C-alpha cells in the first residue's frame, strides 16, 4: 500500500500540470479579449468564452478518453453559425468561440483521463 502513495501524488501532480496548459490558454484568451475589445463588448465576449469553455469541457468529459470527436466539431460549427446570425456585438465574437470550446474540450478530456488514472486496478483471479 505504501508503494501506491507516491504514484497517486505523482498522478495528481501530472494532472495539475496537464490541466495548466488549456487553463493558461483560457486565461490568455480572456486577457487578450479584455485588452483589445471595446468595453461595451466585454460582457458578451466573456459570455461567449465562458459558454464555450463550459460546453467544450462537458463534451470532453462525457465523451471520455476514447469517445468520438464529432461532438466538439458540431459544437464549434453550431456556435460559429449561430453567432454569425446574431446582431452586431455577437457577430464579431464568432471566432472567439473556437479556441474557447477547444480549450474546454481539452480540459474535459484531461479530467476524464484523470478519472481513469484514479481507479484502482481490478485484480485478476487465478483459477
Give the pLDDT of residue 121. Answer: 57
Cα separation, 82 vs 55, in Å, equals 15
Give the pLDDT of residue 81. Answer: 95
Cα separation, 107 vs 20, in Å, equals 9
What is the pLDDT confidence band of residue 6, given thresholds at 50, 70 and 90? low
Enumerate the domain spans of the chain: 4-118
What is the pLDDT confidence band of residue 98, given thresholds at 50, 70 and 90? very high
Are 96 and 33 spatial neighbours (Cβ–Cβ below 8 Å)?
Answer: yes
Is pTM, for the whole model, over 0.85? no
| Residues 32-83 pLDDT 10s | 888 888 888 889 988 998 999 999 999 999 998 888 889 999 999 999 999 9
Amino acid at each position: 500500500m505504501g508503494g501506491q502513495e507516491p504514484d497517486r501524488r505523482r498522478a495528481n501532480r501530472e494532472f495539475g500540470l496537464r490541466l495548466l496548459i488549456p487553463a493558461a490558454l483560457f486565461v490568455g484568451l480572456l486577457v487578450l479579449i479584455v485588452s483589445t475589445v471595446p468595453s461595451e463588448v466585454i460582457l458578451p465576449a466573456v459570455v461567449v468564452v465562458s459558454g464555450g469553455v463550459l460546453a467544450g469541457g462537458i463534451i470532453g468529459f462525457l465523451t471520455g478518453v476514447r469517445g468520438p470527436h464529432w461532438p466538439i466539431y458540431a459544437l464549434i460549427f453550431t456556435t460559429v453559425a449561430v453567432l454569425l446570425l446574431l446582431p452586431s456585438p455577437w457577430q464579431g465574437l464568432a471566432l472567439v468561440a473556437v479556441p474557447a470550446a477547444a480549450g474546454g474540450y481539452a480540459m474535459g478530456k484531461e479530467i476524464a483521463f484523470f478519472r481513469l488514472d484514479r481507479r484502482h486496478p481490478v485484480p485478476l483471479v487465478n483459477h
